[in-house]
Structure 1
Amino acid sequence: MDYDILKTQQEYLNHALTYYTGLKALVLDSITTSIVSHLYSMMDVTQKEIYIITNIADKTREPLYYATAICVLHPSKFIIDRLVEELKVPKYKQYYIFFTSPINESIIETLAEADVHEIVQSVQELYMDCCSITSNLFSLCFKGSESDEITVERSVEALMSILISQKENPVIRYQTNGSTLPQNIAYKISQRIQSSLTVQDGLIPIQPTSTTLLILHRSFDCATPLLIQWTYQAMIHEFLGINSNLVELPTGKVEFAFPNDPFYRQMHQRMFVEVTDEIQTRLNQFNSSKEEKLKLDTMDEMQKAIDAIPELVKEKESLTKHTSILSAALAINKQKKGLQLSEFEQALVVNNALSSSLAELSNIINDNTIPYNDRLKEAVLFAYRFPQKAEDVRSMLQLQKFKLEDSQLIKSIIAYGQNPPLKVFPDETGLKKFVKKIVKGSGGVENVYTQHRPLLESIARNILYNKEDLKKCFPGFGDIHKINQNLIIYIVGGITFEENVAIQEIKKNYSDQGLVPPKILIGGTDVLNSTKFLNMLRPKQK
């Protein structure tokens, strides 16, 4: 059975929310608010006798002495300190405390000392210290550039919670080039696993499992986060942005989440034109069903029609929502000249035609009908592809009066991605043939380029095959010579939706060959689009 981190975390959260029967207040923190929002809608939560949802950091909360607090908290020092303060001056009748990652004895002792009113009824661990984006994709949902110390700490906690919840004792491999963060995270996880096995706490299986945990740094491939992608989920994230399962439309925010949206679950990795076709097909079916329901000859037929109305209405509301989301995305695509830019991007990363690409970049930078940020993005991508022309690109930007801090991104991306573990682009002796894939659909869309394959796809395949030439690039802890069946990938700096699509295709290829597909779980510090990635390259604010 494949990994399903979404289902696992929903079961953990449901355990916490239903552990006590009666009027309850759900007390969260900034991290667990993000985690919970990816598992249940607020309406789902309130249906479990939750009267109010609050944040433990809010000291202005009104006491509810008749309610029981269900605290789902990330056990950071700040949160423990706040919890200690509250237990000394409680706001609720009693407390059931659930931490999202393992806690040590000192935290238990601290809480026991603070519980002077003896109102703590239970302290438990829930291993759900990351946001489940889909069943096989997770994120730490970083809001911006965090310090290296926080990045390592949060990464270790999240990955340990995943290993415990999935009952894994993996071989750990890490990227050495580009950053020391993957090695630091890998080492700390290895130490935590060994500590668990030494004390025999039962959290980690004693015997190694047939799984590899691969820890990468985003510098291994800076091209993929900058490309316009055309699968539904990736396209919406690029053009509109998906934040805490919400998409901002001109009419307001709408939910764009896995748990309560069967259509989204089915179509999220399909090409967007396939999504528009599917919406049209279903709307036609809906209208046909509606007409049929009007032809009622018996009471039984009438009752069946009445019973079907809520589901039909719910489906139509869902289709209407997705139509609005797609319409908004296509409008932005038109404004950005997305097809023109996508054609340029694909030719740039798949071919090695410097002179023609430089001429096309000049046309793009000088075209003031293309939004400023999109012209900047193409310049950054070109500089990453051809760093020897970085000064020429900066000169182009200066002539067009681009801001100095924006033109500095040219240097930033070259420095960030200058030492990848594997070759990102083809060289002159090994050019791929650039193939234009024709995709016909609505909105005048005829040509979409989809030739680029994320580097992560080949890395994942070769790790699963345990190719010898990757052992120097990705050393590790444990028996790295062993061929493992399953793979957990974590990228410091963020993952993209398109990389997740590529990973799913690996599993499909196994199935198509009649082989048992590997279980693959993929995640990162954030889910990137081009805007987030460029912001990550900017100097950190002090």
Structure 2
Amino acid sequence: MSLREKQLASLLSMLNLNTSSSDQLVDVSEPVWKILVFDKVGQDILAPLVSVKELRENGVTLHIPLNAVHTPIPDVPAIYFTLPTDENVERISKDVESKLYGSFYLNFINPIARSKIEDIANAAVLSNDSKIVQKVYDQYCDFICLEEDLFAATGESGSFYALNTTTAQDTEITQTLEALTNTLFSALVQLQQIPIIRAPRNTAASMVAESLDKKLREHLRDPRNCLFTSSHSRPILIIYDRNLDLPTCLTHSWNYQSLVHDLLGITRNQVKVEESGAMKCYDLDGRRDTFWDGLRSAPFNQVAEAIQNELEEVRRAEEEVRRLKVEIGGVDELNEDLSSNTNRLSNAIKDLPALLEKKKMLDQHMNIATALLAKIKSRHLDNLYELETKLLQNPSQSILGLQGSYKDKIRLFLMYYILNNGQIASSEVDQFQTSLGSVPADDGKEPQDVFKQAFEFVKKWISLSKLNTSNAYSVHGGGVPTGNLINLQDDRSNIFSKIVGGTSFLMEGVRNLVFKKQALPLTRVVQELLDGQQTDLTSDYVYFDPKQIKQTTRNNQSFNEGIVFVVGGGNYHEYNNINDVVCKKNLTGAQTMGKQKKVTYGTSCLLNGEEFLEQLCMLGEETLSRS
């Protein structure tokens, strides 16, 4: 079972008062009707996994935030799903004391301290009902599952800014690292696996690795309360530090999922698209959306072609139904073809609900793709992507004179500066900064100020970094096109020319875009450590085995399964690159022939390019304010 399946099973069990461990929706003829109460983190965990329909199927008739105004509903059990914070426990205790609901089933995302359990027990005593609190559970669900093999930490404390700001107190950094340790521990409890842990030395990632190793060791010392059953499967856990690779967060990608995140924004598997002046929200859930599940990592041009082909298929099916209706209405009752046509029409009508659902799904992706195309054209992202892929192979490539938004230009220049290890003439920096003055800023910000702030931090980062970036990125890239890139600035190339009443559209000029897969820096690290190899890239990685009493490093050990966790922020570009290169998945999501690996990707937070640029600006502004 995948991490998402494991977490979903835990949540569905919780919704059924922890009476079922099935990973499927519980089918009961008379469900126990109940209320679900959650805090912000609980809501974030539930949202990508359990729909409102599934809540109702599991007997949840009302779901409300913990801090909302609650109306007393006696004789109805209430399920609470929250963090065990002081504020939350205080609110829960008040609800228990006032007997707001008939009974309470308390589920805490992280383990609750004994002192806080005593506070709840005192509230139960004051309620004069010793059985009002039925159960208290530690769920170990402190992470958000977004895909079968993708998860993120809860909260925002693990951002790149939070881990690098000079204004953070030591206690804040310690709390952040402890929170990330809890995230990884929860994921391992759900997976029931004790991994070998590797991390780059002298980084925040190695601090998390050491903390996790200590936590696992302490837990394994107490076999009576051990949460892990014996398992022969031991993956490698690679904890990576974002400070080792900034360009991956700045680069643009051409695959569907990365484009949606970068240009439209994905929040808890939802994307908002403007349609007819109003914002419409779409769910991007691979369990329910087969198109998204199969093509989210595919290049954008292939996705557009697939939408066209699928819509053509739907249109043909609709025409077949109409044709059969006409034929049946026009034939004599004695015609021997009547029975055959009637059966075919009956079967077509039975398939009609699925056909309409498929059309709805495709219309959703057509609207998303149309919104993406508008941004690609306005920001000239085809030319930008082409230049980036060339730059990653040849850092001396000229980047001046590019069209696009000022943020896209800044992201490109910062990549250029890093890939050249900061060895850029000051006159070239000044020339680029001056060129930003002619770019209008529709967000109210001064482009030159944004560049100055971000550039200040990148200069500092290069001066402090021990990484030889020119070598580290010599084969960096998300795919180099071997055909000609489409020219989206050409008005004659109308990629989404809609025909047949909007049920289909014509793709032109995009089918010649072929990608050569290349490994990003983290992908190459994962490849090496999974295969038990060691080069300069991984020679300085610390090694922890929580099951060993005395640590002995085994660098030549190979693995078929791995977990990657990026401290400081990850992105869909990196996630898809690992799937494509390491797991050898093809563009339809299926694994190709050959040696197969399974990798689960996690991160302290998911950032798109503009969000990462904003955090660089915040860090640079701090540096400038002190100078």
Q: Could you say which TM-score interval applies, normalised by the shorter chain?
A: 0.7 to 0.9
Does 2:593 align with 1:507? no
Aligned to 2:118: 109
Q: Tell me the number of residue pairs that the alignment of Structure 1 and Structure 2 aligns.
A: 526
Residue number in structure 2 paired with 1:497: 572
**What per-residue deviation string (whole Å, max 9, x for no partner) do you get for residues 442-473 of structure 1?**
36446587675311111001111222345542
Amino acid at match of 2:419: R
Provide the secondary structure at the position in 2 that maps to 1:292.
helix
Within 5 Å, which residues of 2 pair with 1:295-374? 295=324, 297-298=338-339, 300-353=343-396, 356-357=397-398, 360-361=399-400, 363-364=401-402, 367=403, 370-374=404-408
Q: Which runs of 5+ in 2 are unaligned?
A: 19-30, 163-171, 326-337, 438-446, 487-494, 496-506, 546-551, 623-627
CA positional deviation for 1:538: 3.2
Q: For 1:402-481, what aligned pairs fall within 5 Å after superposition?
A: 402-416=447-461, 423-426=468-471, 436-438=481-483, 442=507, 444-445=509-510, 453-469=519-535, 472-478=539-545, 479-481=552-554
State the structure with more CA Rg. 2
Query: What CA distance in whole angstroms lies between the structure 2 residues aligned with 1:435 and 1:471?
Result: 25
Aligned residue in 2 for 1:190: 213
Contact kept? 1:495, 1:528, Cα under 8 Å: yes
Do 1:436 and 1:451's aligned partners in 2 also have CA atoms closer than 8 Å? no
What letter is aligned with 2:460? Answer: A
The farther-off stretch of 339-348 and 160-169 is 339-348
1:389 is aligned to 424
1:532 to 585, 592, 611: 611
Counterpart CA distance in 2 for 1:417 and 1:74 is: 39
Shift of 1:78: 3.7
Structure 1 residue 302, shift from structure 2 partner: 4.2
> What secondary structure sits across from 1:316 in the alignment?
helix
The AA in structure 2 aligned to 1:388 is Q
Task: Look up the SS of the partner of 1:507 in the other structure.
Answer: coil
Give the structure 2 partner of residue 86 of structure 1. Answer: 95
Distance 1:396 1:44, change over 3 A: farther
**CA–CA distance in 1 between the matches of 2:271 and 2:44?**
15
1:120-139 equivalences in 2 (<5 Å): 120-139=133-152
SS in 2 for 1:334: helix
Moved more, 90-99 or 281-290: 90-99
Check whether the contact 1:383–1:410 (CA below 8 A) recurs between aligned residues.
no
Q: Which amino acid aligns with 1:437?
A: T
2:320 equivalent to 1:292: yes
Q: TM-score, normalised by structure 1?
A: 0.88
Change (3 A) 1:435 1:261: closer
CA 1:290–1:509 in structure 2 vs 1: closer, same or farther (change >3 Å)?
closer
Determine the C-alpha separation between the residues in 1 that align with 2:584 and 2:474: 31
Q: In the alignment, what sits opposite 2:6?
A: 8
Per-residue CA deviation, residues 253-312 of structure 1 (Å, 9 max, x unaligned), is: 222223321211111111121111111111111122222234164454444233211111
- Whether contact under 8 Å (2:285, 2:292) holds in the other structure is yes
Distance of aligned partners of 1:23 and 1:208 in 2 relative to their CA distance in 1, 3 Å threshold: closer
Q: Provide the rounded CA distance (Å) in 2 between the counterparts of 1:23 and 1:429.
A: 59
Partner of 2:16: 18
Letter in 2 for 1:349: L
Please report the TM-score for the alignment, with normalisation by the length of structure 2: 0.77
Residue correspondence of structure 1 range 6-85 to structure 2 within 5 A: 6-19=4-17, 21-58=31-68, 60-85=69-94
Secondary structure in structure 2 of the residue aligned to 1:247: strand
Is the Cα contact below 8 Å between 2:472 and 2:521 reproduced in 1?
no
Structure 2 CA distance for aligned equivalents of residues 315 and 431 of structure 1: 38
Contact 1:23 1:51 in 2 (8 A): yes
1:460 maps to a residue whose letter is V
User: What is residue 523 of structure 1 aligned with on the other side?
Assistant: 602
Q: Give 1:234's aligned residue.
A: 258
Partner AA of 1:149 in structure 2: T
- Give the conservation status (yes or no) of the 8 Å contact 2:473–2:521: no
Query: Which one-letter code corresponds to 1:521 in the other structure?
Result: T
Structure 2 distance, partners of 1:428, 1:230, is 19
Give percent identity, aligned residues only. Answer: 23
